[in-house]
Structure 1
C-alpha cells in the first residue's frame, strides 16, 4: 500500500517534468530556423595555423648595437640592486 501511495504522490511531478522536457525539446528544433538568410556559411575545414617556427630572414642580425645593449644591461642590473636593497630595508 505504501508503494502505491508513493507512486501517486510522484506521478504529477513526473508528468510535469516530462511535459517540460518535451516543450524544451520542441523549441530547440526551431532555433536552427532562426538563422538569418544573409548569414555567411561557416567553412567545413578550419583554416591553417600560422607558421610559428619560421623565423624572419634577418633574425641573425643584432637589433640593438652592442654598446647600447651593455648600457641597458648595466641600468637593469643597477635597478635590480636598488630593489634588492629596498626589499631588505622593508623587512
Structure 2
C-alpha cells in the first residue's frame, strides 16, 4: 500500500483510534491524506493528525490526485534508455 485517503468529517477529524493508525502508517512512509466529506468542510490541523490536503477536493478527487501523483513519481524513477533506430533497422535486415 502506497497511500491512504481518509474520508473525514466536516472539519477533517477522524476517530482517535483511526487517527493513531493513520499516524503509524504515515511514520512507515505511507502517504496519508485527509479529505472532508462536506463540500465546504474545513480541515483542522494539529500535531497529532495526518496531513490535510489543504484544498476542497472531495475524497474521490483526492484519491485520483494521489494515484496520479504516485504514478508520476514511479514513472520519474524508472530510467528509460533511448532507442537507437539505426541499430534496430540494421538488425531487422540481418546485418
Query: Normalization by structure 1: what TM-score?
Result: 0.28
Higher relative strand content: 2
- Higher-Rg member (1/2): 1
**Of the two structures, which has the highest relative contact order with CA contacts closer than 8 Å and spacing of 6 or more?**
2
Higher relative helix content: 1
